[in-house]
């Protein structure tokens, strides 16, 4: 933190020694892939304010824990998952009046999970659900507090990080096919990527993915069984796939 620095100067109508008290909470935007679409986990509020409305899970930060630990704890309490594939802070929200009861500043985290099965089951089924982010973003589902904006910021963050981090691998399981990984990019960015070009970039020659000898069983529709990969070491330094430039003459980037 830091107090006012010019301590000698007269505090202009404000006394630092009597600082205002805030409640600090941690909210977690839990994203996962389901049916080839990006989904967010929402819980139904059981108490006022906004009782009965959907919201993202969260809770008070405790004085003895770090923000990261608080986020991890909240994630575990809501989903039963003790360690997400990815859990990263992405913003703080403190507008006055965002909580009608008191002054609340919340720190928002983004969690990415694989294995949809069991997530909702881990909580009270009636109080937690997985909805497509499109429904949460276009207002089809009304969210409590300023959670609509928080979810929007989280998704925007994912879209950016997809290009420059290994966040894509957090959406898939420990082993995955090229098509599964490509589906993550296509769902988050809303674009179509050529399968052959995608394969060449990712499995080209470097350590993006490591082939396991095994193969996935083909879906009921037939087709050649896909090779199974594990994530390589290079993802820590940025992803291999770039957001496709519309290739139209204007070189406007994105």
Partner DNA sequence: CCTGGTTTTGGTCGTCACGACTGTTACCTT
Partner DNA sequence: AAGGTAACAGTCGTGACGACCAAAACCAGG
Cα 29 to chain centroid distance, Å, stands at: 5
In the complex with DNA, the residue whose CB is nearer, 101 or 249, is 249
Number of residues counted as binding a second copy (CB under 8 A): 74
- DSSP state for residue 143 in the 8-state scheme: B
In the complex with DNA, the residue whose CB is nearer, 94 or 218, is 218
Residues 6+ apart with CB under 8 A from 14: none
Which residue of 31, 33, 61, 169 would you call a contact of a second copy, by CB under 8 A? 61
- Tell me which residues in 130-189 interact with a second copy (CB under 8 A): 144-145, 147, 160, 164
Answer yes or no: are the C-beta atoms of 208 and 232 closer than 8 Å: yes
Structure tokens at 216: 């996935």
The answer to the question of residue 125 lying near a second copy (CB under 8 A) is no
**Binding range to a second copy, per CB under 8 A, among 112-120, 121-129, 179-187, 209-217:** 121-129
The answer to the question of residue 254 lying near DNA (CB under 7 A) is no
Which residue of 33, 38, 56, 170 would you call a contact of a second copy, by CB under 8 A? 56
Which residue of 49, 173, 190, 195 would you call a contact of DNA, by CB under 7 A? 195
Token match 């109080």: residue?
Answer: 127
Q: How far apart are CA 159 and CA 83, in angstroms?
A: 22
Which residue from 84, 76, 85, 90 is spatially nearest to 150, judged by alpha carbons?
90
**Binding range to a second copy, per CB under 8 A, among 43-51, 79-87, 131-139, 182-190:** 43-51
When CB distances are held under 5 to 8 angstroms depending on the partner's kind, the choice from DNA, a second copy, none that residue 247 binds is DNA
Query: Strands 37-44 and 54-55, how do they pair?
Result: antiparallel
Q: How far apart are CA 73 and CA 101, in angstroms?
A: 24
When CB distances are held under 5 to 8 angstroms depending on the partner's kind, the choice from a second copy, DNA, none that residue 139 binds is none
Element (H or E) spanning 168, and its range?
A: helix 168-171
Residue ranges in contact with DNA by CB under 7 A: 177-179, 194-197, 199, 201, 203, 215, 217-227, 242, 244-245, 247, 251
């Amino acid at each position: 933190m830091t107090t006012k620095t010019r301590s000698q100067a007269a505090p202009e109508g404000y006394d630092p020694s009597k600082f205002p008290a805030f409640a600090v909470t941690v909210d977690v935007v839990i994203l996962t892939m389901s049916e080839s679409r990006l989904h967010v986990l929402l819980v139904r509020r059981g108490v006022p304010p906004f009782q009965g409305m959907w919201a993202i899970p969260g809770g008070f930060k405790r004085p003895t824990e770090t923000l990261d630990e608080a986020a991890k704890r909240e994630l575990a309490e809501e989903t039963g998952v003790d360690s997400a594939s990815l859990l990263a802070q992405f913003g703080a929200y403190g507008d006055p009046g965002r909580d009608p009861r008191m002054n609340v500043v919340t720190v928002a985290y983004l969690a990415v999970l694989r294995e949809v099965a069991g997530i909702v089951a881990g909580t009270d089924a009636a109080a937690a659900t997985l909805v497509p982010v499109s429904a949460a973003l276009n207002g089809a589902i009304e969210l409590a507090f300023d959670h609509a904006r928080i979810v929007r910021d989280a998704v925007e963050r994912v879209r950016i990080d997809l290009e420059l981090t290994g966040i894509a691998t957090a959406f898939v399981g420990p082993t995955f096919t090229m098509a599964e990984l490509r589906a993550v990019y296509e769902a988050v960015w809303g674009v179509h990527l050529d399968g052959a070009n995608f394969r060449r970039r990712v499995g080209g020659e470097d350590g993006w993915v490591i082939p396991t000898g095994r193969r996935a069983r083909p879906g009921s529709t037939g087709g050649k069984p896909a090779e199974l990969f594990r994530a390589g070491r290079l993802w820590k330094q940025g992803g291999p796939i770039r957001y496709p430039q519309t290739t139209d003459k204007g070189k406007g980037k994105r």
